[in-house]
Amino acid sequence: MPRLLSIVVSACVLATSLPAAALEPADVDQLYEEGKQEFALSNFGKAIEKWEAAFKQSGNPLLLYNLSQAYRGRFGTQRKLEDLRKAKLLAERLRAAIADDPSLGDAEEIDNLIADISSTLEQEEAKQQAEETGPVEPDEVDPTETEPVDEPPPPGQTLRRAGIGLIATGGVLTVTGVALGAVFGTRGKSERENLNTLYTMEEELGCLDGTAMGDDCFFVEQDIETARENGKRANLYMGVSLGVLGAVGIASLVTGVVLFKKGKRAAAESEETFARVRVVPSLGGLSLTGRF
């Protein structure tokens, strides 16, 4: 009955050896050891040569595990699918040998190895097929799959834009209200001065005490009434300009500033949350332990 052998295959260390009694003649053991050294140096092609020579001489099925791992390692450097297929085939041959003689090793562990190689092989075959097929022609593209997807705006962007818009609107309304208020205020002042002049003329003509002669008082009184109406209208428009436009403009400014600050704060909070995310890289490699 063959002895149980422990083999640990990794990217850096191969710490086991087959006993000389299991590999006859003596040069088989030497080939095995040389294959281990080449494997440790990632010289997978040379390791395959050494172990295949040892297997041809000894026929020991345990070497199938080493050969499977060597082909798998060479795939990692040369990316040839044939190496993966060879690694799977060798592992399946070892699994069949264990089925005939369970004392050779752990069948479940070999099953896991085969499943792992098969999964990698399927992924690589699909990737290679996609590369060979090339990009899909425009007339073959499903329109429903190419429609652009509207991505949500960055956090706080909507609030900041709304705030900027209100600030701009409020500024325009405020400036407009103040400008119109100044215009109508100037007009109202002019009408008051004109009204004072007419009052003086009315008094000088004697319109108030009834001593005036002719129609002068009539025309003066008409001018006074017109000046009063113009003054009232100017005051009204000044009030509307300052009171309505100015008030709405100031309210828009205040609201815009508040929204802008909220948007800025939301963006800052989002950046702070994102900064807490850390992607921890994982180191891939070949590190399998088999007990045979």
Q: What pLDDT is attached to residue 139?
A: 53
pTM of the model: 0.41
39 DSSP β-pair partners: none
Residue 290 near residue 7 (C-beta atoms within 8 A): yes
Length of the chain: 292
Angle among Cα 173, 174, 180 to the nearest 5 degrees reads: 85
Q: What is the mean pLDDT of each run of 10 residues along the chain (292 residues)?
A: 35 34 64 95 95 94 95 93 95 94 91 94 90 63 53 74 90 88 89 89 75 72 88 89 85 88 76 40 35 34
- For the chain, the C-alpha Rg in angstroms (whole number) is 48
User: Cα separation of 194 and 284, whole Å?
Assistant: 94
User: Cα separation of 62 and 216, whole Å?
Assistant: 134
Report the SS3 class of residue 62.
coil
**What would the pLDDT profile of 233-255 be if each residue is shown by its tens digit?**
989 998 888 888 888 889 988 89
CA distances from 84 to 53, 131, 152, 174, 247 (A): 20, 18, 44, 76, 78
Classify residue 105 by its DSSP letter.
S
Q: What pLDDT is attached to residue 73?
A: 94
User: Cα separation of 163 and 255, whole Å?
Assistant: 7
**What would the pLDDT profile of 139-194 be if each residue is shown by its tens digit?**
555 545 555 555 566 767 888 889 899 899 988 988 888 898 899 889 889 989 98
> Which amino acid would we find at residue 115?
A
Q: What pLDDT is attached to residue 72?
A: 94
Q: For the structural domain made of 6-132, what CATH number should be given?
A: 1.25.40.10
DSSP class per residue in 121-185 = HHHHHHHHHHHHH-SPPGGGS-HHHHSPPPPPPPTTHHHHHHHHHHHHHHHHHHHHHHHHHHHHH
Best CA proximity match to 241, nearest among 192, 184, 190, 166: 184
Long-range contacts of 125-129 (CB under 8 A, 24+ apart): 125/81, 128/81
Q: What pLDDT is attached to residue 291?
A: 34
Spatial CB neighbours of 28, under 8 Å, sequence gap ≥ 6: 54, 57, 58
Best CA proximity match to 226, nearest among 202, 184, 198: 198
Residue 45 near residue 74 (C-beta atoms within 8 A): yes
Dmax over Cα atoms in the chain, in whole Å? 154
Structure tokens at 97: 């040998």
Best CA proximity match to 36, nearest among 10, 58, 57, 56: 10
